[in-house]
Amino acid sequence: MQEKTYLKWYNKIGYGSGDIAGNVVYAFLSSFVMIYLTNTIGLSAGIVGTLIAVSKLFDGFTDIFFGSMIDKTHSRLGKARPWMLYGYIGCAVTLAAIFAVPTGWGDTAQYAWFFIAYTLLNGVFYTANNIAYSALTSLVTKNSKERVQMGSYRFIFAFATSLLIQSVTIGFVAKCGGGAAAWRTVAIVYAVLGLVVNTVSVFSVKELPEEELNEWEEKQSEEEKYGLGEAFRLLVSNKYYLMICGVYILQQLYAAMINSGIYYMTYVLKNENLYGVFSWAANIPLIIALIFTPALVGRWKGMYKLNLRGYMIAVAGRALVVAAGYIGSVPLMLAFTALAALGQGPWQGDMNAVIASCSEYTFLTKGKRVDGTMYSCTSLGVKLGGGLGTAAAGWLLELSRFDGTLAVQPESCINMLHVMYLWIPLIINVVIMLVLSAMNVEGANAKLREEKGIF
């Protein structure tokens, strides 16, 4: 039977454009905050890494909290859109603040400024915005193909924005005169751009009425509604949710190590401008893969086989990057980086649809709908994985005796950069591939629907 369609092409593109706003924050922060703080402000990479790790302790509580709040929200804009709209205002302000550390203050005050701004951005505003944005996949359509298409559009915009940010930021900072003031100016420009695009995205889609979303279940009474504790129990009882959280965290750890490439290009390959070139090699194949992901999902009748086979290619690609790195061939490194990215593309495109299936699994097994709470894994993964990855990069740089004031780093640092940029991403890809091999939530849902007579 043909599934009902809910969205026009412009709704899908409008929704997808929201990740321009998200990656104006995330790509800029994850790629450049460490080198800004170490090489421009002069702070210790190890201390910055520790502050980021401590900040993550707070983040862990806010993800499920905001997910639960979205599930309980009833407004003219719907459940998720108000949080997406207003959360980004705080994102814009705190992003600018992170790159506006007062240069005239002492070290302790500078660390405190960064820690407060970073924690507010990640633990509060980005959390509210990102969980709401991801939850819209379940709230604006019930059509599985449209959900995959939304994910593909979303991540096309995400990777295109990451590519742009990573390619132009170093030059943009230089054009603005270099130094702390230039970083502050660039951050303000990005924040304003993100605020505008996020607002457009919010109003490009409309959430479905709750009665239509809940047509399979009886209306819950006030006594049946669940609290934060019950929401947490519902999540951890869903093995597929735990798998997705794990993969999300690993992906962001992977991205953090790849983002340490700014150091690898500067001190190993001796050309910081290669960072933008490698960004092209990583992001263009991802975008190509995302374009074809909806068609491949249809051809292979589901997402499970596509995602697993894609990551097999990703593992092979990163293994070849390691070999090319030790050979010292930049062209081969670029080619194999592109191959690995091509394999990672399908999962990036359909992961939101997989999360929607994961939410359906909770409904089919527990009888409760937790769409907003379920999408806490997106924010949790981005912040916890990305934050810990950035923190780990800081610790590893400190351990290797990195010194941002030196033009030539010690041999211990060069060796560590090989580990961070070559070996750790390969290991992470292997682990993700193993997790994806067990993540057949579509098959589990089909079996449950058949048992319950739901078609």
Which class is domain 14-213+228-452? mainly alpha
Q: Which residue has the higher pLDDT, 28 or 448?
A: 28
The pLDDT > 70 percentage for the chain reads: 91
**Residue 231 reports pLDDT greater than 60:** yes
How many beta carbons lie within 10 A of that of residue 327, not counting itself? Answer: 10
Do the beta carbons of residue 9 and residue 186 sit within 8 Å?
no
**128, burial (CB in 10 Å: exposed 0-12, middle 13-18, buried 19+):** buried
pTM above 0.75, yes or no: no
**Residue 338 reports pLDDT greater than 70:** yes
Number of residues assigned to the chain: 455
Please, what is the Cα angle at 162 between 194 and 202, to 5 degrees? 35
CA distance linking residue 183 with residue 175, whole number of Å:
11
Show the 3-state SS of the chain.
CCCCCCCCHHHHHHHHCHHHHHHHHHHHHHHHHHHHHHHHHCCCHHHHHHHHHHHHHHHHHHHHHHHHHHHHCCCCCCCCHHHHHHHHHHHHHHHHHHCCCCCCCCHHHHHHHHHHHHHHHHHHHHHHHHHHHHHHHHHCCCCHHHHHHHHHHHHHHHHHHHHHHHHHHHHHHHHCCCHHHHHHHHHHHHHHHHHHHHHHHHCCCCCCCHHHHCCCCCCCCHHHCCCHHHHHHHHHCCHHHHHHHHHHHHHHHHHHHHHCHHHHHHHCCCCCCHHHHHHHHHHHHHHHHHHHHHHHHHHCCCCHHHHHHHHHHHHHHHHHHHHHHHHCCHHHHHHHHHHHHHHHHHHHHHHHHHHHHHHHHHHHHHCCCCHHHHCHHHHHHHHHHHHHHHHHHHHHHHHCCCCCCCCCCCHHHHHHHHHHHHHHHHHHHHHHHHHHCCCCHHHHHHHHHHHHCCC
| 361-414 pLDDT tens trace | 888 888 777 766 776 666 666 667 777 888 888 899 999 999 888 788 899 999
Q: What is the mean pLDDT of residues 291-317?
A: 86
User: pLDDT category, 66, cuts 50, 70, 90?
Assistant: confident
Do the beta carbons of residue 194 and residue 20 sit within 8 Å?
yes
Least-confidence region, from 126-130, 226-230, 242-246: 226-230
The pLDDT score that the predictor gives to residue 41 is: 94
**Residue 164 reports pLDDT greater than 60:** yes
Q: Across 18-32, 292-306, 415-429, which has the greatest mean pLDDT?
A: 415-429
**Residue 357 reports pLDDT greater than 60:** yes
User: pLDDT category, 81, cuts 50, 70, 90?
Assistant: very high
**Residue 144 reports pLDDT greater than 90:** no
CB-based contacts of 295, cutoff 8 Å, min separation 6: none
The pLDDT score that the predictor gives to residue 137 is: 83
User: pLDDT category, 115, cuts 50, 70, 90?
Assistant: very high
Tokens of 249: 């965290």
The pLDDT score that the predictor gives to residue 242 is: 87
HSE-CB of 12 using CA atoms within 13 angstroms: 19
The pLDDT score that the predictor gives to residue 294 is: 79
Spans of all domains in the chain = 14-213+228-452
Q: What is the mean pLDDT of residues 182-188?
A: 97
Q: What is the mean pLDDT of residues 109-127?
A: 93
The pLDDT score that the predictor gives to residue 322 is: 97
CA distances (Å), origin 399, targets 43, 258, 326: 15, 18, 22
The pLDDT score that the predictor gives to residue 217 is: 46
**Residue 39 reports pLDDT greater than 70:** yes
